[in-house]
Homo-oligomer: A and B are copies of this chain.
Amino acid sequence: MSDVDAESEYLLGAYEVLAESVRRLIDVTIRTEAAPESVFAAAQDVDRIADGLGTRLMPGSFGVRDRADGQAIASGNVVIGVRNPVAPPLVVHHEPDGSVWSEFILGAAYEGPPGHVHGGVCALVLDHVLGATAHKPGRPAFTGTLTMRYLRPTRLGPLRAEGRIERVEGAKTFAVGHIADRAGATVEAHGVFIHPKGARNAHV
C-alpha cells in the first residue's frame, strides 16, 4: 500500500466512524425522552460540531469517485454510502450466477406504520438491489421502470433483500427480487434497468 493509499484509508476510516456515530444520534433523536432543556442543549452542541466540520466543505454532493485501484466509490450514496448517516448502509453481495443479496437492519429511522418499515423505504432498497444486478464496473445502469407488490407490512429489524436477472435484452436488464423479514417475503419487485450509451458511474 502506498503512502497515499494509506492516508486515504485513514481518512475514509474517520468519515465512516463519524457516520456511524451520527446514525446512532439519529436513532436517539427520534427515541429520546430527555427533558426539553437537555434536548435544546444537545441541539446547540450538535450545531457547534457541524460548525467545526463545516468550515471546509466540498461543493454540492459527494458524487462517485475513482479509487486508486480504479474502482468507483459512492461513499455519499443514500443506500450504500459508508459516510452517509442516512444509509443503513447496505453491503450488496454479488453471486457468480449474477444474483445479488444484502442483509441489513432497519430501525426507528425508517418507520412508516407503527413498528414497520415505510413502504417507500422498501421501494428504495429494492430499486438499489435490483439495479445492482445490472450494474457492472464502468457500466452503470439507470432505473427505467420499477413495480412493487406489497404482500404484507415489513417489521422493523433484521431484513434481507435479494435480486436476480430475469433476462437481458440489449441495453435493458429485467430484474426481479423481494425484501423479507423474519417471517418471509413482504414486498416483491420487478424492474427494468437501462445502460445508457457512453455513461459511467451513474447507477442510481
A residues sitting closer than 8 Å to B (CB atoms) are 10-11, 13-15, 17-22, 24-26, 28-34, 36, 38-40, 42-47, 49-50, 52-58, 60-64, 75-79, 81, 83-86, 107-115, 118-121, 123-128, 131, 140, 142-150, 153, 156, 201-204
Chain B residues with CB below 8 A from A29, complex form? 15, 18-19, 22, 53, 83-85
Are the C-beta atoms of B114 and A64 separated by less than 8 Å? yes
Q: How far is the CA of A47 from the CA of B124 in the complex (A)?
A: 28
Contacts A64-B113, A78-B109, A85-B109 known; 17 new A-B pairs at CB < 8 A: A10-B36, A14-B36, A14-B43, A17-B39, A28-B50, A32-B56, A42-B52, A61-B156, A78-B118, A79-B120, A84-B111, A112-B203, A119-B127, A124-B124, A145-B147, A146-B147, A153-B202
Residues of chain B lying within 8 A (CB to CB) of residue A15? 29, 32, 39
- How far, in angstroms, from A165 to B125 measured CA to CA in the complex? 26
Neighbour of A33 across the interface among B10, B56, B109, B131, CB < 8 A: B56
Smallest Cβ-Cβ distance to A47: which chain B residue: B21
